[in-house]
Chains A and B, each alone.
Chain A
Amino acid sequence: MPLASVVLGLVLGAVLIAVQGHSVLSAYGALVLGGAGDADAVLRTLQKATPLIFGGLAVAFAFKAGLFNIGGQGQLLVGAAFAAGVGFGIDGLPLVVHLPLALLVGGIAGAAWGAIAGVLKATSGAHEVIVTIMLNFVAGNLTDWLAANPWQDRSGSNIIARTPLVEPSAEIPTWGWLPAGFLLAMIAAFACWFILERTTYGFEVRSVGANRHAARYAGISVGWIMASTMAVAGLLAGLGGAIESLGVDGRFEAGVNVGLGFEGITIALLARTNPIAVIPAGLLVGLMEAGAAKMQFESGVAPEIIDVIQALILLFVAAPMIVRWLMRLRDADDRRLTLGAGWGR
């Protein structure tokens, strides 16, 4: 079903491109070449896919407990800012200490940010969607302030709200076309799968997601599961942000990562919240984003078409009835994505 949604999204995207008077073939051709044509293109795709996979996992993991984590954006921002802070703020450490430390601090910052929403949900029933949306804005302001005041790059005549470059000992290495951060993303996806499917904790998470009340009667501490699940989700998004700072940008700059956290929602829904499927979903969107510049250069199609295609795919994933009707599919796959009851308590 997700495959059919992707195909439909691409077809409608092609219609839009054609309506604008561009050649669909050359546009999509350039898109693929720009995302997978040579080693540089592959590197770009994998770099783009890394935070998407982390963001997708952050949404998917929380989803398993019946929580909708819209806070990936804020968790990613604090992760990116604090990882950069450790990355440039400490020097003289060897790489084997400095890099893990910076990643860890970024991850913990994200986890703490996610945990706020989880703890509030568990203790007062405050809906995680409202709280995480608000926390996104708070994180945006907080990291802006950090990058513009205490942590600002004072070298030369810089007036941009950004930190200095991180020390070489905190940089994530890249081997040819393979960024090490992408390997971390793969490991994270498999770890999520393992935790959710093969451990008692994962079983408890899924029980809470399936039926909160039944889980409580079965002796599971629903509050603890909610709080810890949001912390894990925040950890994942925070790591994604940390890798962005330490592996791609080399620093934290206010405003450059805006929107990255929200794309995790698309990825997670596209993967139907399956952690392993998050990898191909992230690669697909990563490839489109990596190839968008080449597509614009060669065929003149605005790169924002990628956002439109993503939205269309998401629409088709969310409303399977449309796809079934359009494609005349009559399979028995009637699983619907549900988050339970609205702001439900």
Chain B
Amino acid sequence: MTLIAGSDPEASRAKGGASRWTTRRVWSLAGAAVLVAVVWAFYAWNGAQTTAVLSGTVRAATLLVLGAMCGMIGERSGIVNIGIEGQFLMSAFAAFTIASISGSLFLGVVAGVSTGLAMGWMLAAMAVGLRTDQIIAGTVLNIAALGLTSFFYDRGRSLGQLKYQAIELGPLADLPVVGTALFNRPPLTYLALILVIVLHVLLLRSVWGMRTTAIGEHPGAAATVGIDVIRLRYLNVTLAGGLAGLGGAYLALEAVGTFTRAMSGGRGFLALAVMIFGRRTPLGAYAAALFFGFTTALQNQFQLNDTFDIPAQFVGMLPFVVTIIVVAAAGLFGRMRDPAALGQPYEVR
């Protein structure tokens, strides 16, 4: 494995720029400090509203980070997944329908995750197995999910019970500022947070993570040291679909509590931006998801009160405009690099 670890781009990048790393650390620490100060000031000024915004931030970020992690496992393995939107929608539908029929939220989550896995497998079958163009394969998933869920959508069906309710984590929930937002959440939010940390370690430290990076950077080389590229790509894209499936279940059973037509509302695409923004690492993606979630929460608050006279639509544009600027700037300054074999089908010769 040493050979493969040596080709890890993170490692080689860190070698080159020790000084740049420290400057960047200082800047991000300073940024974080300013952020904390601002949030604290707002909390002192208007506690209830700040709590509402922070809770909304975490609520929106949970879905985004699940989608982003689905996307990054695929991309690290060399597969572009623009079908996250469809995976969200289809699994939200399955989770809601099964939970409604069975009366069990847990069975609903199982159905959502299974549907996500199935959608992931379909993407893998098209993109890895049939070597269809990956972007077209993802588009097919999106259009199919919208069509199927609309066709089978039953307007009269309801969940028949409460959606997932918040669970207080003892004294942590009483902390000022972040108590309610982070430690008084429903169960799937906690699960997502755990997954972020676990996946971060796995992707950057484990043998599986190294192999995944290898098949995304140089599948040919990976194959020569005995990695079954096709099989690992299938496995990764399918498992990643399970994360999007959990996102769909979260959307239907925890965030909203019902299913409506096209309810994913473009957040599967936004998750792609979150992934790129977070440099394809789970923790980075969570930071990006919090930022995007913050703009969503802010937009909702602006609609509710009129202290600030900014039209909600302009706040709504913010994450998208920021993404465009970041993606363009990243290209201009060469700060970000895609996995080398991204988008290319691998053929066994």
Footprint of B on A, CB under 8 Å? 16, 68, 70, 116, 120, 123-127, 129-131, 133-138, 141-142, 144-145, 148-149, 262, 265-266, 269, 302, 304-312, 314-315, 318-319, 321-322, 336-345
* Most chain A CB inside 10 Å of its own CB: which residue of B136, B270, B343: B136
Asked if B301 CB lies within 8 Å of chain A CBs, one says: no
Are B313 and A145 closer than 8 Å at their CB atoms? yes
The interface residues of chain A lying within 8 Å CB-to-CB of B6 are none
The interface residues of chain A lying within 8 Å CB-to-CB of B269 are 133, 137
Instruction: Tell me, rounded to whole Å, the shortest Cβ–Cβ distance linking A21 to chain B.
Output: 14
Question: Of A120, A131, A314, A339, which contacts B135 at CB under 8 A?
Answer: A339
- Which 4 pairs between the two chains have the least Cβ-Cβ distance? A342-B343, A307-B147, A124-B331, A311-B144
Are B82 and A311 closer than 8 Å at their CB atoms? no
The interface residues of chain B lying within 8 Å CB-to-CB of A68 are 135
Complex: how many Å from CA A340 to CA B344?
A: 8
In the complex, the chain A residue whose C-beta lies closest to that of B343 is A342
The interface residues of chain A lying within 8 Å CB-to-CB of B317 are 137-138, 141-142
Are A337 and B133 closer than 8 Å at their CB atoms? yes
Complex: how many Å from CA A339 to CA B135?
A: 8
* Most chain B CB inside 10 Å of its own CB: which residue of A130, A144, A149, A262: A130
Are B338 and A124 closer than 8 Å at their CB atoms? no
Question: Of A134, A305, A311, A336, which contacts B273 at CB under 8 A?
Answer: A134
Instruction: Tell me, rounded to whole Å, the shortest Cβ–Cβ distance linking A167 to chain B.
Output: 27
Complex: how many Å from CA A230 to CA B169?
A: 52
Instruction: Tell me, rounded to whole Å, the shortest Cβ–Cβ distance linking B268 to chain A.
Output: 10
Instruction: Tell me, rounded to whole Å, the shortest Cβ–Cβ distance linking B107 to chain A.
Output: 24
Complex: how many Å from CA A145 to CA B80?
A: 33
Q: A306-B147, A318-B132, A343-B338 are in contact. List 10 more A-B contacts (CB 8 A).
A: A126-B327, A126-B331, A130-B272, A134-B323, A141-B316, A141-B320, A145-B313, A318-B139, A342-B78, A342-B80
Are B130 and A319 closer than 8 Å at their CB atoms? yes
The interface residues of chain B lying within 8 Å CB-to-CB of A344 are 338, 342-343
Question: Of A116, A302, A319, A343, which contacts B343 at CB under 8 A?
Answer: A343
The interface residues of chain B lying within 8 Å CB-to-CB of A116 are 324
Asked if B207 CB lies within 8 Å of chain A CBs, one says: no
Question: Of A134, A262, A314, A343, which contacts B80 at CB under 8 A?
Answer: A343
The interface residues of chain A lying within 8 Å CB-to-CB of B266 are 133, 136-137
Instruction: Tell me, rounded to whole Å, the shortest Cβ–Cβ distance linking A337 to chain B.
Output: 6
Asked if B27 CB lies within 8 Å of chain A CBs, one says: no
Complex: how many Å from CA A129 to CA B153?
A: 29
Enumerate B287-326 residues with CB–CB distance to A below 8 Å.
311, 313-314, 316-317, 320-321, 323-324
Per-residue interface assignment for chain B, residues 329 to 340, with 1 indicating a CB less than 8 Å from any chain A CB and 0 otherwise? 111100000100
Asked if B258 CB lies within 8 Å of chain A CBs, one says: no
In the complex, the chain B residue whose C-beta lies closest to that of A144 is B313
Complex: how many Å from CA A242 to CA B221?
A: 52
Q: Give the dominant DSSP class at B's interface.
A: helix
Complex: how many Å from CA A269 to CA B321?
A: 29
Are B133 and A318 closer than 8 Å at their CB atoms? yes
Complex: how many Å from CA A269 to CA B137?
A: 12
Enumerate B140-159 residues with CB–CB distance to A below 8 Å.
140, 143-144, 146-148, 150-151, 153
Are B316 and A311 closer than 8 Å at their CB atoms? no
Complex: how many Å from CA A254 to CA B132?
A: 36
Are B324 and A311 closer than 8 Å at their CB atoms? no
Complex: how many Å from CA A321 to CA B133?
A: 13
Asked if B44 CB lies within 8 Å of chain A CBs, one says: no
Asked if B5 CB lies within 8 Å of chain A CBs, one says: no
Complex: how many Å from CA A17 to CA B330?
A: 49
Given A265-B139, A311-B140, A338-B133, check contact A126 B147 (CB 8 Å): no
Are A269 and B136 closer than 8 Å at their CB atoms? yes
Are B143 and A262 closer than 8 Å at their CB atoms? yes
Question: Of A124, A135, A311, A345, which contacts B143 at CB under 8 A?
Answer: A311
The interface residues of chain A lying within 8 Å CB-to-CB of B80 are 342-343
Are B344 and A134 closer than 8 Å at their CB atoms? no
Complex: how many Å from CA A68 to CA B139?
A: 11
Are A138 and B344 closer than 8 Å at their CB atoms? no
Complex: how many Å from CA A338 to CA B320?
A: 27
Are A322 and B148 closer than 8 Å at their CB atoms? no
Asked if B235 CB lies within 8 Å of chain A CBs, one says: no
Given A129-B82, A130-B323, check contact A308 B313 (CB 8 Å): no
Complex: how many Å from CA A199 to CA B206?
A: 55
Per-residue interface assignment for chain B, residues 4 to 47, with 1 indicating a CB less than 8 Å from any chain A CB and 0 otherwise? 00000000000000000000000000000000000000000000
The interface residues of chain A lying within 8 Å CB-to-CB of B150 are 302, 304, 307
Complex: how many Å from CA A135 to CA B324?
A: 8
Given A308-B151, A315-B140, check contact A340 B343 (CB 8 Å): yes
Are B151 and A16 closer than 8 Å at their CB atoms? yes
In the complex, the chain B residue whose C-beta lies closest to that of A117 is B324
The interface residues of chain A lying within 8 Å CB-to-CB of B321 are 134, 138
Are B144 and A312 closer than 8 Å at their CB atoms? yes
In the complex, the chain B residue whose C-beta lies closest to that of A137 is B320
Complex: how many Å from CA A123 to CA B331?
A: 9
The interface residues of chain A lying within 8 Å CB-to-CB of B126 are 318-319
Asked if B101 CB lies within 8 Å of chain A CBs, one says: no
Complex: how many Å from CA A70 to CA B85?
A: 14
The interface residues of chain B lying within 8 Å CB-to-CB of A145 are 311, 313-314
Complex: how many Å from CA A134 to CA B338?
A: 19
Complex: how many Å from CA A149 to CA B153?
A: 34
Complex: how many Å from CA A307 to CA B150?
A: 8
Given A305-B151, A310-B147, check contact A318 B137 (CB 8 Å): yes
The interface residues of chain B lying within 8 Å CB-to-CB of A266 are 143
Complex: how many Å from CA A314 to CA B130?
A: 15
